Chains A and B, each alone.
Chain A
Amino acid sequence: KQEVTQIPAALSVPEGENLVLNCSFTDSAIYNLQWFRQDPGKGLTSLLLIQSSQREQTSGRLNASLDKSSGRSTLYIAASQPGDSATYLCAVKRGSQGNLIFGKGTKLSVKP
C-alpha cells in the first residue's frame, strides 16, 4: 500500500530564506508526483508536476526534484516571501486507478 509522508509538519522561516520541503513515498512504482499549495479554507493549486521519467521541474522560484529509487521528492523555494505562507501538499499518482495519494502536508509560515 502506497504511503506518502511529508516532513516537517510545520515550518517557520524569516523572509528571504531558501527552504526545502520533503516528501517520501513507500512504493517507487509511480506515474507522476504533484506538488500543491493550499491556502486556509481554499482548494488546491497545482504548483509542479514531475513525470516518473523526469528528475526535476522548475517554475519561477520553485524547483521540485524526484528520486524514484529512493522514494523521495523535494520542493525547493528560493528567496521565500510572506505570500508563500500556506500548506504544501505532495501527492503521487497510483497507476491502476488514476487518483492521487496525498501526504498530510507541510504548513509553511514566512515571517516578514
Chain B
Amino acid sequence: DGGITQSPKYLFRKEGQNVTLSCEQNLNHDAMYWYRQDPGQGLRLIYYSQIVNDFQKGDIAEGYSVSREKKESFPLTVTSAQKNPTAFYLCASSLRGEPLSYNEQFFGPGTRLTVL
C-alpha cells in the first residue's frame, strides 16, 4: 500500500528540547517537502529536498534542521531555537523535482506538535 507516513501523530515537547518528526514514503518519489500549518494561515515551506544528500531552506527554516540520507526518508528536527514551534507539520513528496516538474505533490497525515 503506497503512501506517505508521518509519526508520531501527536507530539508534546518541553521548552528547550529538540524533537524529531518522521516522514517516510514508499512512492519512489525524488522530492520531499516539509510544511508548517498554523490556524488562519496557509501552509508555509520549511525545507525541501530534490535528491538524496541535498536539501534547501524554504521560507521559514530558522530553528529547524533536516537530513536526507535515504530516498524514502526526510526527518525534520525542531530545535530549541524555534521560538514558536506549536503547529501542525505536514510532509509531502512528488515524483520529480525541478526544473520542469509538472507532477502532483502528495501529503502525509501530519504531526501535531505542542510545546508545554
Q: Which positions in A face B, CB cutoff 8 Å? A: 4, 31-32, 34, 36, 41-46, 49, 51, 89, 91, 93, 95-105
Contact = CB atoms under 8 A, between A and B. Distances in A.
Residue of B43, B107, B108 most packed against chain A (CB within 10 A): B43
Given A46-B106, A95-B98, A97-B56, 17 more contacts: A31-B100, A31-B102, A32-B102, A41-B112, A43-B90, A43-B107, A43-B108, A44-B92, A49-B104, A97-B98, A98-B97, A98-B101, A99-B33, A100-B105, A102-B42, A104-B41, A104-B42
Chain A, interface SS category: strand
Contacts of A46: 104-107
In order of increasing CB-CB distance, the 4 nearest A-B pairs are A102-B42, A44-B107, A43-B109, A102-B43
Is the contact region of chain B dominated by helix, strand, or loop, or is it mixed?
A: strand
Interface in B85-116: 88, 90, 92, 94, 97-102, 104-110, 112
A42 B102 contact: no
A44 B43 CA distance: 11
A14 B43 CA distance: 29
Interface residues of B, number: 33
B2 interface: no
A64 to B, nearest CB: 13
